[in-house]
Amino acid sequence: MEYAVFESGGKQYKVSVGDLVEVDSLNSSQGVKVTFENVFLIVSDGLVLVGTPTVLNAKIIASVIDERKGKKIRVLRYKSKVRYRRAMGFRARRTYIKIEKIEKSSKTSSK
C-alpha cells in the first residue's frame, strides 16, 4: 500500500492514490489539477521516505472535484448580569479533491 502525508492550509492529510479528500478552500475551479509540494512522508512497497522537514522533489498531484460550503459552526457570545446574548453562524468554503498521483524522489531535503 502506498500512501503519503502532505500539508494544505496548515493541516496535514494522509492520502493514497484515488482517495477523495476535503481540504480548506483552494480557490480553484472544478477539474483543475493542483500540486502539493509540502510532502512530509511517503511509504511505498516497504520503502519509507521521511522528510526533514519535507521530502525533496516529492509532490502530490490531485484534481479538484467540487468546492462548496462546509458544515455550519455556531458562535455564541454571552455576558453575565446584563442579559447580552448574540449568536452567529459561519460556514467555511471547502474543496474536495481526488488524489491522482504521488511522485517521489529517493533523497530527503536538508532544510
Quote the pTM value.
Answer: 0.81
What are the residue ranges spanned by the domains of the chain?
A: 3-66+96-103
39-70 pLDDT, tens digit each = 999 999 889 999 989 999 999 999 999 999 99
67-96 pLDDT, tens digit each = 999 999 999 999 999 999 999 999 999 999
Residues 6+ apart with CB under 8 A from 41: 4, 5, 48, 49, 50, 51, 55
